[in-house]
Amino acid sequence: MDKLLPCLAISAAKSVSSLIRFFGMGMASSLPGKVANTICPSILPFLANQLPQGCLAITGTNGKSTTSGLLASILRETGYQVIHNRQGANLIAGITAAFIEETSIGGSLKGNFGLLEVDEAALPVLTKAVCCQSIVVTNLFRDQLDRYGELDKTAQLITSGIKEQNSAAILNADDPNVCNLPCPGRKIFYGLDYCEPIQEGSQSNSCAGAEISYCPKCGHEISYLTSSNASSLWKCSNCNYSRPELDFYADGIELLPSSSNFTLHSKLQSATINLPLPGLFNVYNATAAGAAAFSFGIGLNTIKRGLEQYETLFGRSEKLKINEHMVIIQLIKNPAGTSKSLASLANGHCTQVLIAINDNLADGRDISWLWDANFEILAHISPSFFVSGQRAQDMAVRLKYAGVDSGKITCIPSLSLAFKQALEQMPANTTLWVLPTYTALLEMQKILKQYKTMVH
C-alpha cells in the first residue's frame, strides 16, 4: 500500500490527540481513531499487519479491561512490546487510536504484539480487518438490552468474529453460554475449582456467579453443584450438557478485602498467586489472562510475576489514597458484574458507599438492570450510602426496596458534591467505595484532578 494516505491519517490523528490533551478535554482514546479511519479506512489493517507476533482479542460482557490489563502485565515480563487499548476504548475507533499512539509519523509501528480489548458487537468488524490468532471470551451476561438484545444475539456476534479466521478460542468453562459457542478452531477452557458461598441476602445459589438457569442446547434447567468439584460445577438436568474438562484453572481461593490469594494450575504446573485485586470476579480475570499467556507457551512463574506486579486500571478496582482515606473505584454496568462488585464490597471494610448512575447512550438508556443486581446484600452491612448521577433518585428507590434503611441514604445528583460530602463525613483511615456507571466514571476522572495534590 502507498504510505502517503496512511501517513496523512496518522499525522491528522496525532494532531487531534495533542489538541485534546493540551486543552484537557479527555484521554484522546477514541476521536483520533475516528479521524484516521475517515481519512484512510484501511489504516487499521495497515498498522496491524506490521505486528510480527500478531494479535489477541479479549471480548465478553464483563472483565475485558482488567483481563487485558493483567495479560499486558504478564507479556511485559517476557519482553513483548504490546500495542494495547489500555484506556478501555474498545470500539474500532478506540483500537485504531491505540495503534496510532504507538506509530511514528512515518507509519512505522513500535510494538510487536497486539492485545486488543474489543466490544462484543465490534468483534466481527475487527476480525475482518485484523488477524487475531486467539480470542478470549470472558463471559456472556445480559448487558444494555437496548443495544444488544438478549444473549443469543451477543453469542452470534462473538461466534461470527471467531469464525472469521478460525481463531483459537480461550473460553470460560464456568459459563454454559460461552462453552456453547460453536468455535471451529482450537479451544482452551479455563475456570475455577470453587463454589461461591451464599451471602446473606443473596437470591442465587449458583456457583461462580453464573447468571443463566437454562441449558443453551435443550432449554432445560441447569443444575449447579453446591460443593466444589473440579470436573463439573454445572450440568443440564436433561441432556447432560456439562462443564468441559479444564485446561487451566484456579483453586485454593482466599478472598481478602483488597486482594486475593489462589493457585493457578495447568496440566503440568502450578503456582500460588497473591493478586493485588479483591473479588472473585478478579480471580476469573486473572485466570483468563493466565490461560491466554499459557497458550502462548509462557510459564507459570512468569505469569505469577506479571499478575502480582499488576497496577490497576482507572475504575477497575482501582485503589487511591486521599489524605487519610482509602477510595476504591469499581465500574458497574449490568446485573452480573454489579452483583459481584457488591459482594466484594460486603466482604470488605468500608464506611461510605457512593453509587453514581447515569443513563447516557454509553451507559445504556435502560436502567431496569438495577432491579436484577443483588443490592439486597447491602441491607446487612453498616455503611451509609450516597446516590448520585442523572438517576440518583431511581438508585435511592432501589436501595430502599433492597432493604437499606432510608435514613442511611443521601441523594445528591451532583457527583462532585456527593464525592466531596462522602469524604468529609468519613473518619480517618476508613474506606469509600465508589460504584459509577461508565459516563459517571469519566466524570470521576475529572473530579479526582481536583484532589491531585492529595492523592498518593
Length of the chain: 456
Q: If pLDDT is split at 50, 70 and 90, which confidence band does 325 have? A: confident
Among 321, 352, 330, residue whose Cα is nearest residue 279: 330
Same domain, 164 and 188: yes
pLDDT computed for residue 454 by the predictor: 52
Quick one: cell of 259?
486482594
Same domain, 144 and 99: yes
pLDDT computed for residue 340 by the predictor: 84
Torsion sign (Cα): 332, 91, 74, 292:
positive
Same domain, 67 and 159: yes
**Residue 455 covered by a domain:** no
pLDDT computed for residue 351 by the predictor: 78
The H helix count followed by the E strand count for the chain is 15, 17
Same domain, 434 and 345: yes
pLDDT in tens, 31-40: 999 999 999 9
pLDDT computed for residue 230 by the predictor: 39
Same domain, 248 and 294: yes
pLDDT-above-90 percentage for the chain? 61
DSSP string, 1-23: --SHHHHHHHHHHHHHHHHHHHT
pLDDT computed for residue 382 by the predictor: 75
Contacts of residue 406, defined as CB under 8 A and 6 or more positions apart, other chains included, come to: 400
Same domain, 261 and 369: no
Q: If pLDDT is split at 50, 70 and 90, which confidence band does 359 have? A: very high
pLDDT computed for residue 54 by the predictor: 92
**Residue 11 covered by a domain:** yes
| Alpha-carbon gap, residue 205 to 198, rounded angstroms | 6
Same domain, 374 and 277: no
Same domain, 322 and 391: yes
pLDDT computed for residue 193 by the predictor: 84
Torsion sign (Cα): 124, 32, 40, 46:
negative
pLDDT computed for residue 452 by the predictor: 58
Quick one: cell of 296?
502462548
Higher pLDDT, 65 or 230: 65
Q: Is the pLDDT of residue 215 over 50?
A: yes
Residue at a domain's end among 259, 291, 308: 308
DSSP string, 195-241: -PPPPTT-----GGG----B-TTT-PBEEE-SS--SS-SEEETTT--
Strands (E), 91-176: 113-117, 132-137, 168-172
**Residue 456 covered by a domain:** no
16-20, 22-26, 42-46: range with lowest mean pLDDT:
22-26
pLDDT computed for residue 141 by the predictor: 81
Quick one: cell of 313?
486500571
Strand, helix or coil for residue 135: strand
Residue at a domain's end among 308, 341, 359: 308
DSSP string, 20-39: HHHTT----SSHHHHHHHHH
Q: If pLDDT is split at 50, 70 and 90, which confidence band does 199 have? A: very low
pLDDT computed for residue 69 by the predictor: 95
pLDDT in tens, 328-350: 899 998 888 898 889 888 877 77
**Residue 403 covered by a domain:** yes
Same domain, 108 and 256: yes
Same domain, 287 and 357: no
CATH of the domain at 11: 3.40.1190.10
Q: Is the pLDDT of residue 209 over 80?
A: no
| Alpha-carbon gap, residue 241 to 21, rounded angstroms | 52
Q: Is the pLDDT of residue 107 over 50?
A: yes
**Residue 122 covered by a domain:** yes
For residue 167, the enclosing domain spans 4-308
Q: Taking every pair of C-alpha atoms in the chain, what is the biggest distance, in angstroms?
A: 67
Residue at a domain's end among 266, 283, 308: 308
Quick one: cell of 346?
460486603
Cα 183 from chain centroid? Answer: 22
Among 84, 242, 57, residue whose Cα is nearest residue 138: 57
pLDDT in tens, 265-287: 998 899 999 999 988 889 999 99
Same domain, 441 and 360: yes
**Residue 15 covered by a domain:** yes
Q: How far apart are the first and last CA of the chain?
A: 48
pLDDT in tens, 120-173: 999 999 999 999 999 999 998 866 554 445 678 889 999 999 999 999 999 999
Counting the structural domains of the chain, the total is 2
**Residue 411 covered by a domain:** yes
Same domain, 303 and 321: no
CATH of the domain at 358: 3.90.190.20
**Residue 454 covered by a domain:** no
pLDDT in tens, 54-75: 999 999 989 999 999 999 999 9
Torsion sign (Cα): 18, 101, 316, 322:
negative
Does this model's pTM top 0.85? My answer is no
The Cα-based distances of 240 to 104, 193, 236, 264, 271 in angstroms read 54, 20, 5, 28, 32
